Amino acid sequence: MTRQDVELRLETILCSRGENALNAIRDQARALTPALGANREMAQLDAVIGALLRSRPAKTLQTPGAQARAAGTPVDPERVERFDLLARALPTVTPPQRKDSVTSGPPFEHLSFFDAYFSNYIEGTEFDVDEARAIVFDGVIPAQRPADAHDMLGTYRLVGDAAWLTRNIGGDRDATSFLERLREAHAVLMAGRPEAGPGQWKTLPNQAGRTRFVEPELVQGTLVKGWETVRGLRTPFQRAAMVMFVLSEVHPFTDGNGRIARAFMNAELVAAGERRIIVPTVYRDDYLGGLRALSRQDNPMPFILMLDQAQRFTASVRWDEYVTALADLTDANAMAVAEEGVRLRVPRTAI
């Protein structure tokens, strides 16, 4: 085991089991030191643990994660490694640039509406498309589902805001600017659910199935590392994929994390003049499968290819008129659910 491996392992233990676990390891090692004649190694271990616990100087630490923790901005080291893994994989896939001509007027409204509609639907906020349209454009709030209706409205207000979509990570002055932009966007998105703490970082851990997301005390530090990784990528597609994965993997808020992740993904694309990515209902399992392959198996390719296919689909739809957009979406099976046994395809009008 290298020195870096030891630091990474100790920081992971500290993240998952707390300070007492590191103190117990140090005590056990100290008890074994005389018999092993490992005084020098014990001194090194003591220095690393002390630095991680911020009771000793941090200058001996070598890994970025350990250094960040000692500096008072701790990160989730496994997540940061996964960000680096994705950053290395993204340049190996080169999707074509899909230019975006839908930047204003009714076509922009139609595209933004379906972006918001599907982003809510795949999270379980399900409305008939006509009902959702009445909520967004006519202000018709169903008496039985006011909170769900405000989820739909909040998402549309964000992804339908052309000015907001022109702001991307390249325009952030620094990491603090990014964090503030993220909190402000979440406040818009979740304005109708005060119990979810709009614009506030989570204070309790959250998880989905077997995936436990970044611990609350590691959220801001891990987001900063993710922001740095995004800024180091070359193309809008690469930056979009990375920021979406960072936000999905960190899950920085109590609720609305998937929607905010997809909104920030699309801001990276739209700000660069490229077509946004819509994840329709029928593509939900592919979307989640790509995320899980990366998050649970450290396999980035299904995630990258999934986003490429979703952008290709979004670019193939005619957004000029609502009726033609809906017809294309229906023809592409976008409105279907996985249980119907059909797959997402390019609408026949685009072939």
Place of tokens 């993997």: 249
Q: DSSP code of 184?
A: H
Check whether residue 20 and residue 114 sit in a common domain.
Answer: no
Q: How many Cβ atoms are within 10 Å of 72's Cβ, its own excluded? A: 9
Q: Which residues fall within 8 angstroms of residue 10, CB to CB, at 6 or more apart?
A: 22, 25, 48, 49, 52, 66
- Cα distance between residue 106 and residue 158, in whole Å: 16
**Contact (Cβ atoms closer than 8 angstroms) between residue 276 and residue 314:** yes
Digitized pLDDT (tens) for each residue of the chain, 351 residues in all: 788 888 888 887 887 688 888 889 999 999 988 988 888 888 888 888 888 887 887 777 887 777 777 777 789 989 999 999 999 999 999 999 999 989 899 999 999 999 999 999 999 999 999 999 999 999 999 999 999 999 999 999 999 999 999 999 989 999 999 999 999 999 999 999 999 999 999 999 998 888 899 999 999 999 999 999 999 999 999 999 999 999 999 999 999 999 999 999 999 999 999 999 999 999 999 999 999 999 999 999 999 999 999 999 999 999 999 999 999 999 999 999 988 999 999 999 987
Measure the N-to-C terminal CA separation of the chain; round to a whole number of Å. 55
Where is the domain boundary, 71, 99, 130? 71
Among 241, 338, 341, 332, CA closest to 281? 338
Residue by residue, DSSP assigns 255-293 as S-HHHHHHHHHHHHHHHTTB------GGGHHHHHHHHHH
Q: How many residues does the chain have?
A: 351
- Backbone phi, then psi, for 55, in 5-degree steps? -110, -5
pLDDT at 47: 87
Residue 192 tokens read as 């109708």
Q: d(Cα 91, Cα 221) in Å, to the nearest integer?
A: 25
State the total domains in the chain.
2
Helices (H), the chain: 3-17, 19-36, 39-52, 64-70, 77-89, 105-121, 129-138, 146-159, 162-165, 175-189, 219-231, 236-250, 257-271, 284-297, 301-316, 322-331
Residue 44 shares a structural domain with residue 139: no
Q: What is the pTM of this model?
A: 0.86
Residues 24 and 102 in one domain: no
**Statement to judge: residues 7 and 156 lie in one domain:** no
Domain that residue 300 falls in: 80-350
Residue 27's CB: how many other CB atoms inside 10 A? 10
Greatest C-alpha distance within the chain:
79
The CATH number given to whatever domain includes residue 175 is 1.10.3290.10
Q: Are 85 and 67 members of one domain?
A: no
